[in-house]
Amino acid sequence: MDAHLAFRGVGGPHLHLGVCGSVAAYRALDLVRQWQDAGVSVSATLTPSAQKFVTPLTFAALGAAPVYTAPFDDPQAPSPFAHLEPGQVAQALVIAPASAATIARLAQGQADELLACQALAFRGKAVIAPAMNPAMWSHPATQANIATLRERGCAVVEPGCGRTACGEEGQGRLADLREIYLAGLRALAPQDMEGIRVMVTLGPTREHWDGLRFWTNPSTGTMGAAVAVAAWLRGARVEAVCGPGTPWLPAGIARHNVGSARHMLEAAASVWPQCDAGVFTAAVADFSPVPPAQGGDKKFKKSDAPDGFDVHFAPNPDILKTLAADRRPEQKVVGFAAESQNLEDSVRGKLVSKKADMIVGNLLQDGFGTADNTVFVADASGREERWAHLSKTDVAWRLLSWLLSR
């Protein structure tokens, strides 16, 4: 699992997975693993059609428990209340892949199969990830059923586009598994950031000197991506202003790809007025090389400087400082600090100089390009804490909880 998606213990501890008949049914096995790695226990129901593609034994071997296959006298999970149990123990129901037939049953409340019964008796959050032939997906009957389920609050992870197993091109393939994995976690997570709009800047910036060369740093954007995803899991609307090479983000997050620091400032400034909080994790280049006289879009040739040359660097705008300076009083600002020494004093200094509500600082060797992080956090009310050896997803979760508590 990518480091920015490796959340653990984000909410309700039990998820029920429904699997329908589809070539993509085998992919549900990966989802079981991924949710388990996130600290979630998973039970499953395989429809009769799903059992033509995958076996209950495989799900059981991966630790899904119980695995239901039929009502009442189920050899896998014998119980007279198999149709009610997921609703009694699980906080989220995810059906992936969801077939056109099961979607129609759910929309009609037609409880003639075990999974449809369980869905009807389920009161927690529901998510469906459809997979089917493109003509079946785009059919008005399927679209009407999807609209009905959406109206009832069911989250729909839209199928992807491309070539389907039947050889046709179009929309119908099971979505990227990361989308489904995250939709399951979001259904389990507290929605304590619902109604809040958060902007996150992340990754490096790239300062071009000529048409080919640029000045940058090795930031991967993992920390900022973890903050963006954590906020989205908690119900926030997220605007991610992403430098080059930053990680994949779910479709529910608005992504603004940028190159240089000036470009990042422009994109951030356009979304900032609509946001309630800004988390500035980007490793913005503080200086840009001044392009050679003949213009920055051409390639500088070896013959242009046979004896070598000096490069002059001009300062870049400070994005955090610029946006924090004229914010509305209720807008919260969280900055990061990457230091090579004197971490605590630098964090306290940046809290004041940047007019931030909170600064999260780390030493370069503790946080740059690593999965884990040790950070020192300080806020404007004088509260200070050290968080040692946490995953970046845990740091992200904690800092958002801190922000909510202010």
* 261, 205 Cβ separation under 8 angstroms: yes
Among 300, 293, 282, which Cα is nearest to 204's? 282
Q: What's the count of helices (H) and strands (E) in the chain, helices before strands?
A: 15, 20
Which C-beta is closer to ligand CTP: that of 179 or that of 366? 366
Separation of alpha carbons 239 and 232, rounded Å: 10
Is the four-CA dihedral 351, 338, 235, 138 of positive or negative sign?
positive
User: Using CB under 6 A as the criterion, which residues of the chain lie in contact with ligand CTP when the complex forms?
Assistant: 201, 261, 280-282, 284, 286, 316, 318-320, 335-338, 350
Tell me: is residue 300 an annotated ligand-binding position: no
Cα–Cα distances in angstroms (integers) from residue 191 to residues 113, 131, 254, 370, 392, in the given order: 31, 27, 18, 29, 20
Tell me: is residue 319 an annotated ligand-binding position: yes
Which C-beta is closer to ligand CTP: that of 8 or that of 406? 406
Residue number closest to ligand CTP, CB atom? 319
CB of 337 to ligand CTP, least distance (A): 4
CB of 121 to ligand CTP, least distance (A): 48
Tell me: is residue 320 an annotated ligand-binding position: yes
Which C-beta is closer to ligand CTP: that of 184 or that of 204? 204
List active site positions: 166
Which C-beta is closer to ligand CTP: that of 301 or that of 312? 312
CB of 335 to ligand CTP, least distance (A): 4
CB of 234 to ligand CTP, least distance (A): 21
Interior/surface letters 44-78, b for 16+ CB within 10 angstroms, e for the rest: bbbbebbeebbebeebeebebebbbbbbeebebbe
Which C-beta is closer to ligand CTP: that of 194 or that of 286? 286
- Cβ neighbours for 103, distance < 8 A, ≥ 6 positions apart: 128, 130, 142, 145, 146, 149
Tell me: is residue 86 an annotated ligand-binding position: no
Burial of 345 (0-12, 13-18, 19+ CB in 10 A): exposed
Pairing of strands 277-280, 332-339: parallel
Tell me: is residue 97 an annotated ligand-binding position: no
CB of 374 to ligand CTP, least distance (A): 16
CB of 10 to ligand CTP, least distance (A): 24
Tell me: is residue 317 an annotated ligand-binding position: yes
Angle at 141 between CA 137 and CA 145, to 5 degrees: 85
Q: What order of strands is seen across the sheet that includes strand 277-280?
A: 254-257, 237-242, 197-202, 277-280, 332-339, 358-363, 372-379, 384-391
Which C-beta is closer to ligand CTP: that of 241 or that of 253? 241
Question: First and final CA of the chain: distance in angstroms?
Answer: 32
Tell me: is residue 286 an annotated ligand-binding position: yes
Known binding-site residue numbers: 286, 299, 317-320, 336, 350, 354
Known binding-site residue numbers for CTP: 286, 299, 317-320, 336, 350, 354
